[in-house]
Chains A and B, each alone.
Chain A
Amino acid sequence: MVFIVYKLTLITVILLVSLGIAMYATLLERKFAGFLQDRYGPDRAGKWGLLQPLADGGKLFFKEEYMPNTADKFLYILGPCLTMLIALLTSAVIPWGPPVIIGGTEFSLQVADLNVGILYVFAIGSMGVYGIMIGGWASNNKYSLMGAIRASSQMISYELAMGLSIAAVIMMMGSVSLTDIVAQQQGWHWNVIFQPVGFLIFFICALAETNRHPFDLPECETELIGGYHTEYSSMKLGFYLFAEYINMFISSAIIATLYFGGYHFPFIGRLGLSPNLAAVVGMAIFFTKIIAFIMLFMWIRWTLPRFRYDQLMRLGWKILLPLALLNLAATGIFILLKG
């Protein structure tokens, strides 16, 4: 009974937190974009525009619910739902902080401690393309279809390099459980120090997987109007846009978990904090890292122009894939020589 209540609470909290962070990431993005372009960004709704995400959400709810009459009704509705669902699913295996002790019982801040955590992340991550593909196909619009095709081929191409860069991490850690990977990065033993190339490849692929700039070819306003969500309006469009921010949040969390020590920080263990306080500090550290990565995603978006499609494919297949393979081989040789 306690177990069910604790898991349900944890799931609810994580769901709300990821939704809340995604909501305010939209504001952060607009503010950040504004500041990078010598403007202020939205500052009319509430103090510093803090109510802007609510206003945007409210606007989307009251927009006309439009559906093209040639669309496949079932798939058309399924698309955004699937995108949202898959975006939220990944958060289940991420260890959000060190375990909390309440009344002598230890509660880990992780919904499901799968022993194949990374595989789960990958499985769900590759399903992410379905939402976009189904939406683009069901819209019965050439631009949507183009966007959907681009999204699927882009995601498949970059998943390879992403998988290979993670394989190197798994080889080093000797485990595919996210809890183990975080535990082994205690102190300053962050994977990014031992796997800088792997991190770079993973990060570029994460940009491509979340369809963020400079890899936002599935949307690509200048060529495809809105890409896969051209025919969507109201809250269905809202789901697509919102899922992108959730994806960004989850990707940042995974990057922080795999390469930046999760909730660990050098010298924090030496302070001699009580377990519960350590859990709070760990969580704060983890979320700081996540937000830093979200900012990095945004920073890149407002710096780099979009790739041309052939450049995107060349980067994925001819540069990142061989580089990831080399990285994997080098890691293997290193581990072999070390004994």
Chain B
Amino acid sequence: MSLTNRSKVVSNKKFSFWETLYLPAIFHGMFITMSHLFKRKTTIRYPEVKRPFSGIYRGLHVLKRDDEGRERCTACGLCAVACPAEAITMIGDERKPGEEKLYREEKYARMYEINMLRCIFCGFCEEACPKEAIFLTDRLVPSLNEREGFIYGKDRLVEPVDARVDVSKRQTEKVLEFKKDKDERHNKNDLKK
């Protein structure tokens, strides 16, 4: 049984005179290569043309702010626990009086780092986050020559107030449904098993 109709049975039969001439086969081969000259090119000329990404592509992370521009992350550490590659590190700190405009919760992440060389972009951190603070976006992690550059701190992860990052593309109906009762049904079902 064959999976495709392209398979050919290999045989070791002697070449016929026509085949020993090789020339017909060579001309046939040259015809094939020449036909490729006129085919559509598969190249995407990268900086000018970009390959369209799937809406739910999991790329470079973002730490979201809420509507008033306060950081949502409360440094609970669930994302770091969920991370199978152990790429996330954070140090929590207490919010001081007067910092209410900066941080939404009473505890916040003083330091938050993701090592992009370790990260496997599975998106578990996003699923684990109870505050909807971390999301994966359809942006790419740019390539660099130095390893140090791949450790992203808060300076590069937290979205700027004036340049919000759109994460709505990843919020499909299924995802929203899942997030609605995150700490109720799903977790309980897990416990039952």
Q: Within residues 19 to 58 of chain A, which ones have a CB less than 8 A from any CB in chain B?
A: 35-40, 43
Residues B42 and A38 in contact, CB atoms below 8 Å apart? yes
Residues B43 and A36 in contact, CB atoms below 8 Å apart? no
Question: How would residues 38 to 62 of chain B score, 1 for a CB under 8 Å from any chain A CB and 0 otherwise?
Answer: 0111110100000000000000000
CB-defined contacts of A35 to chain B, threshold 8 Å: 36-37, 41
CB-defined contacts of B41 to chain A, threshold 8 Å: 35, 38-40
Residues B39 and A303 in contact, CB atoms below 8 Å apart? no
CB-defined contacts of B40 to chain A, threshold 8 Å: 38
Q: Within residues 1 to 56 of chain B, which ones have a CB less than 8 A from any CB in chain A?
A: 26, 29-30, 32-34, 36-37, 39-43, 45
**Separation of A303 and B42 alpha carbons in the complex (Å):** 19
**Does A265 make an interface contact (CB < 8 A)?**
no
CB-defined contacts of B37 to chain A, threshold 8 Å: 35-36
Return the chain A residue nearest B27 by Cβ. Answer: A303
> Which residue of B30, B39, B42, B43 is within 8 Å of A300 (Cβ)?
B30
Number of interface residues of B (CB under 8 A): 14
Return the chain A residue nearest B26 by Cβ. Answer: A304
Between A and B, how many residue pairs show CB distances below 8 Å? 33
Return the chain A residue nearest B42 by Cβ. Answer: A38
Main DSSP-derived SS at the A contact region = loop
**Does A299 make an interface contact (CB < 8 A)?**
yes
CB-defined contacts of B29 to chain A, threshold 8 Å: 303-304
Instruction: Using C-beta atoms within 8 Å of the partner chain, give the interface range for chain A.
Output: 10 to 19
CB-defined contacts of B32 to chain A, threshold 8 Å: 303
**Does A120 make an interface contact (CB < 8 A)?**
no
Residues A299 and B43 in contact, CB atoms below 8 Å apart? no
Residues B39 and A38 in contact, CB atoms below 8 Å apart? yes
**Separation of A38 and B41 alpha carbons in the complex (Å):** 5
**Separation of A40 and B39 alpha carbons in the complex (Å):** 11
**Separation of A300 and B40 alpha carbons in the complex (Å):** 21
Residues B30 and A37 in contact, CB atoms below 8 Å apart? no
Return the chain B residue nearest A39 by Cβ. Answer: B43
**Separation of A90 and B163 alpha carbons in the complex (Å):** 66
Residues A303 and B33 in contact, CB atoms below 8 Å apart? yes
Question: How would residues 304 to 328 of chain A score, 1 for a CB under 8 Å from any chain B CB and 0 otherwise?
Answer: 1000000000000000000000000
The residues of B with any CB-CB pair to A shorter than 8 Å are 26, 29-30, 32-34, 36-37, 39-43, 45
The residues of A with any CB-CB pair to B shorter than 8 Å are 35-40, 43, 299-300, 302-304
Chain A to chain B contacts (Cβ below 8 Å), 27 pairs: A35-B37, A35-B41, A36-B33, A36-B34, A36-B36, A36-B37, A37-B36, A38-B36, A38-B39, A38-B40, A38-B41, A38-B42, A38-B43, A39-B41, A39-B42, A40-B41, A40-B43, A40-B45, A299-B30, A299-B33, A299-B34, A300-B30, A302-B33, A303-B29, A303-B30, A303-B32, A303-B33
Nearest 7 A-B pairs (CB), nearest first? A303-B33, A36-B33, A303-B29, A303-B30, A35-B37, A40-B43, A39-B43
